[in-house]
Amino acid sequence: MRGPHNIVRLVRTLATLERAGAIGVVLEAFSAPPRLRVLARVLGWPFAWLGLRGDPALPPLTRAITALGPAYIKFGQILSTRPDIVGDELAEQLRYLQDQLPPFPIAIAKGTIEAELGIRVDQAFSEFSEPVAAASIAQVHRARLADTGAEVAVKVLRPDIERAFRKDIDAFYFAARVIETLAPSSRRLRPMDVIAHFEGVVMGELDLRLESSAAAEFAANTEKDVGIQVPRPLWYLSGRRVMTLDWAEGLPLADNAALDAAGHDRQVLGARVLQLFLSHALRDGYFHADMHQGNLKVAANGDIIAYDFGIMGRIDEYTRRVYAEILMGFIRKDYRRVAEVHFEAGYVPADRDIDEFARALRAVGEPIFGMDASRISMSRLLAYLFEVTERFGMQTRTELILLQRTMVVVEGVARRLDPHINIWEVAKPIVEGYITKNVGPLATLRDLRETARVLARFGPRLPRMVEAILIAQATPKETAPKPAGRRVWPWVLAAAALAGGVAIGALL
Give whole-number Cα distances, 227 to 257, 276, 343, in Å.
Answer: 21, 8, 37
Cα–chain-centroid distance for residue 372? 25
| First-last CA distance in the chain | 56
- 221 by DSSP, 3-state: which? helix
Whether 225 is catalytic is no
DSSP for 271-333 reads HHHHHHHHHIIIIISEEES--SGGGEEE-TTSPEEE---SSEEE--HHHHHHHHHHHHHHHTT
Angle between helices 401-417 and 70-80 (to 10 degrees): 50
Rounded CA-CA distance 358/355 in Å is: 5
Query: Which DSSP category does 233 fall into?
Result: B
3-class SS string, 62-116: HHHHHHHCHHHHHHHHHHHCCHHHHCHHHHHHHCHHHHECCCCCHHHHHHHHHHH
Rounded CA-CA distance 8/78 in Å is: 26
Q: Is 306 exposed, middle or buried (0-12, 13-18, 19+ CB in 10 A)?
A: buried
Catalytic residue among 84, 99, 170, 290: 290
Rounded CA-CA distance 244/235 in Å is: 7
- The helix, strand and coil proportions of the chain, stated in percent and rounded to the nearest 5, come to 65, 10, 25
Which amino acid is located at 453 in the chain? R
Rounded CA-CA distance 287/312 in Å is: 6
User: Which residues are catalytically annotated?
Assistant: 290
